[in-house]
Structure formats: C-alpha cells, structure tokens
Structure 1
C-alpha cells in the first residue's frame, strides 16, 4: 500500500530523511495507502472513479506527507508531542491511535480550503492537524469535475518515547 505514496520524488525523499518525525511520516504514508487502495479497488470497475481523480488524490497525499514531515513547523511538533506525549495524555494517544477520517476541500486554485476530522475526538490533535494542513496551496488545482470533499482515512501512530 505504501508504494503508491512513495512513488514521487518528494515523498520518497521525505520518507528517507531520518528524524524524530519518521513514525509520523510512516503513518501519513499508511494513511495515503489506505485511502488510495480503496480508490484503486473502485477504479478497477469501469468508469467508477476517473484516473485523474486518483492521480490528484495521490498528489494531495504526497503533499500532506511532506507537510506533516516538516519538523520546523510548530504545529507538526505539537501533533508529534500529542501523539507521543506522557502517559497522562492518554486521551490524545488513544484517540489518535484510531483511524481518522479526513474530509478535505480544495478550492479552484489548489488551496486547501478546509479540513475536518469528524472521527477525531481530541480537539488538541484536531486543531494541530488543521493548522498543518489547511489554508495551504497544492502544486495543482483539483480537476474541475472532481467531487468534494475528498474523504481520506488517516491512521496516526503515537511516537515511541515522546519527543
């Protein structure tokens, strides 16, 4: 499943970079693999999901992976701390260990207009993820005929040992 995400140069360079966010990057790769594996299965049926939609979802996944791998971003650091924080942060860790549905809206210029995490209970993790992913521009605008929101599944794993 991870092969569909790591096919791009930017995604593979992010995945290969060692650092304290390696587990988060792997989790994002898993997230995109899960999201795209479902789309690929549907795409095998004639005309169910247009290939250009699948390609755009891959672009979105690669960009999300890069953004979530940016350890210079304070919001990414916050997500990492919440995911691997001390045991008294158990609510954040328990909530984040479950698959998270991400609904993503991208405007006509390619800017991530809005993200929602309807299955994520912990508002601290949700707010930090929203800060990382929303109001940022993608390399391309979405296909004009693409339905929105894009619904993706994210599986975040707590980092071992915290920061």
Structure 2
C-alpha cells in the first residue's frame, strides 16, 4: 500500500518554488522582483531551486508526510509565501510561513527547508528576507 501511495504522490504532486519578490526586513524599503538587481534575482533563483530539490526528495520521511498531508488538504493556499533570512554561511537562520493548519506538517516543512545550508551565501548587499512562494501543482 505504501508503494502505491508513494507512486501516486510522484504522479500527482510536484513541489515548485517560485519567486514572489525580495523584501527588506519589516517591509520598509521593499524591493519588487522587477526592481531587484540581477545578482539578487540570480541568487533567489538558485535558492529557490535548492529548496525545490529538498521538497522533491520523496525518500525523506518528512517530505513524504508533508506531501501526504497536502494531498488530503487541497485548500492550502498556493503559493505558500515563505520568508527566509539567510546567514553569511548560507544557513537559513530564520524561516517564516503561515501555518499549514497542522503542527506536524509545519514542523516537517520547516525541518526540510532548514535541513542544510544553501550552497552559497546571499550577496552582501541583498536585502532580507528573501520571499519565495512554495507551490504544489500536478506533475
């Protein structure tokens, strides 16, 4: 039965990270995606891709639980806005998103996204937080 569920998840859902925009702390001095310098956008695209890859690791039990929960709760808003504060070593030092409505799903999503540092540090002049939208859509 579990293998059927696992195959079904692969067929129907694929997590995607999409850039919503880059915002400064507290919203003051916000910069839209259209106004952001190209090197900020390149970093945001790379970070989004890395997070997307984490959410596609279906062998990870935390990812399995998040995907299973989302399949049974299609009312979850998409894209789910996620705010990331990224330290100089690439570690996600702070992560905020609206609750999915389930403490375990929230904890699993948080642990998955913060499971390892990003491959590179953000540009020194990039405003934070970095805002991404996590989207689930059919494959």
Do they superpose with TM above 0.5? yes
Q: What aligned pairs does 1:1-163 form with structure 2 within 5 A after superposition?
A: 20-21=9-10, 23-25=12-14, 27-28=15-16, 31-32=17-18, 35=20, 39=33, 42=34, 48-85=35-72, 93-118=73-98, 120-157=100-137
TM-score of the superposition, structure 1-length normalised?
0.64
Change (3 A) 1:82 1:139: same
In structure 2, runs of 5+ residues without a counterpart are: 1-6, 22-31
- Whichever structure has more strand as a proportion of its residues is 2
Aligned pairs, number: 123
Change (3 A) 1:95 1:115: farther
Higher relative contact order (CA 8 A, sep 6+): 2
Moved over 6 A (4+): none
Change (3 A) 1:19 1:146: farther
In structure 1, runs of 5+ residues without a counterpart are: 1-17, 43-47, 86-92
- Whichever structure has more helix as a proportion of its residues is 1
Change (3 A) 1:74 1:95: same
